[in-house]
Amino acid sequence: MKVMSKTALRKSGVPEPGTHDHAPGTRTVRTPGGLSLRVDVRASTVVVALLLAVLTASVVLIGTGDFPIPAADVLKALVGDGNQGQEFIVNELRLPRVLVGLLVGASLGLGGALFQSISRNPLGSPDVLGLAQGSTAGALVMIVLFSGSAGQVTVGALVGGLATGLAIYLLAWKRGVHGYRLVLVGIGVSAIVTAVNGYLITKADLVDAARAVVWMTGSLNGRDWSQVWPLLWMCVVLVPLVLANARGLRLTEMGDDVSYALGVRVERVRLLLMVAAVLLTAGATAAAGPVGFVALTAPQLARRLTRSPGPNLVASMCMGATLLIAADLASQRAFGADQLPVGVVTGVLGGVYLLWLLVTERRAGRI
């Protein structure tokens, strides 16, 4: 048994008491009342940088379109200090669209981070598990079988996503849900639902089929305030709930036994967070259609930036919003307004990323 001397400790870079934490790169804020908060410096920097990036991109995006508006005028209009025409375009037409994009991106990023943490697998994201396909099935049923209104399609997509999430949970449940079983069951469910979607399209007439295909690419076109509010309320309720359970989630990544021994009610935390993740994903998909690969890539990119082992929930959320807004900006700038749905851009970028991920995972011997 080696007990290290004081000097050896200092030499080896172990911090002296009271200076900073054992986890490198974190700072602790303590109050005299015994409260203490722990902050990861690098992760916080990443979050602030992403927020700045996404807000800048949002302002540029609002200024982009058939009537280009300079960034300064956009800001003026947002605070109610612009001319009437610009204020109408900014606040009534373009702001809700950008807000939907921000909320959808954040929800997908958070939902993806939760799923990847619960399955302990970067492939365990809603795109791969078939949640988006489930939402699509719900939407297609409304479009093809009932020729439903936009509102009914949204409800259909929500119900489809939730039902698929429930089905995956029940099928994968065997004394707890985890790891590869969740991924494999999800891939199976995804294949079945995709087949159902194909069948529904073949049954559709031309008008419905065209509408279905537009919905299936995922787009922010024509989104208004009526889509913003439900999404916003969902985030207001779910995000704090999720973050309050983040510490428990972080421990479950060390295995059920360890986290259980540390006093985490593993199954409860996991069920709660899975429900939240399904709601976030289904809600986002109902609002914008199945925007591909944001949920898959955002948590992984966030993780590589923060270099932190935890689930990186806040950073994933900001990254999701940034990715979606950036993709929408790219699609509008490169191909003219409303030409290319945002889902096409995220799909292309995400597909390349997925290939890269598969190759590196294979090299690391994990698949």
Partner 1 sequence: MNRLSAENVTLAYDQRVIAEQLSVEIPDNSFTVIVGPNACGKSTLLRALSRMLKPSQGRVLLDGSVIQSMPAKKVARTLGLLPQSSIAPDGITVGDLVGRGRYPHQGLLRQWSTEDERVVRESMESTGVAELAERYVDELSGGQRQRVWIAMALAQQTPLLLLDEPTTYLDIQHQIDVLDLCAELHEEQGRTLVAVLHDLNHAARYATHLIALRGGEVIAEGAPTDIVTAELVEEVFGLRCQVIDDPETGTPLVVPAARKARTRVVAAEAS
Tell me, by CB under 8 A, how many residues bind partner 1: 43
How far apart (Å, rounded) are the C-alpha atoms in residues 199 and 213?
Answer: 13
Q: Which is nearer to partner 1, 141 or 276 (CB)?
A: 276
Angle at the Cα of 129 from the Cα atoms of 356 and 361, rounded to 5 degrees: 25
Amino acid identity, position 200? L
Give yes or no for residue 22 binding partner 1 (CB under 8 A).
yes
What is the closest distance, in whole angstroms, from the C-beta atom of residue 320 to partner 1 in the complex?
21
Q: Which is nearer to partner 1, 13 or 80 (CB)?
A: 13
Question: Which stretches of the chain are assigned E, i.e. beta strand?
Answer: 26-30, 36-40
What is the closest distance, in whole angstroms, from the C-beta atom of residue 179 to partner 1 in the complex?
10
Query: Does residue 100 sit in helix, strand or coil?
Result: helix
Selected from 7, 13, 32, 236, the binder of partner 1 by CB under 8 A is: 13
Give yes or no for residue 365 binding partner 1 (CB under 8 A).
no
Selected from 91, 93, 147, 253, the binder of partner 1 by CB under 8 A is: 253
What is the closest distance, in whole angstroms, from the C-beta atom of residue 256 to partner 1 in the complex?
8
Q: Which is nearer to partner 1, 26 or 86 (CB)?
A: 26
Token code pair at residue 194:
């995709």
How far apart (Å, rounded) are the C-alpha atoms in residues 84 and 91?
Answer: 10
Give yes or no for residue 9 binding partner 1 (CB under 8 A).
yes
Amino acid identity, position 266? V
What is the closest distance, in whole angstroms, from the C-beta atom of residue 258 to partner 1 in the complex?
5
φ/ψ of 265, rounded to 5, equals -80, 85
- 346 and 294 in contact (C-beta within 8 Å)? yes
How far apart (Å, rounded) are the C-alpha atoms in residues 60 and 236?
Answer: 26
Footprint of partner 1 on 298-317 (CB under 8 A) = 307-310
Which of these ranges, 135-143, 245-253, 293-301, 353-361, lies near partner 1 under the rule CB under 8 A? 245-253
Q: Residue 288: which of 262, 323, 253, 261 has the closest Cα?
A: 323
Residue ranges that bind partner 1, judged by CB under 8 A: 1-4, 8-9, 12-14, 17-18, 21-24, 26, 28, 30, 34-38, 120, 244, 247, 250-251, 253-255, 257-258, 260-265, 307-310
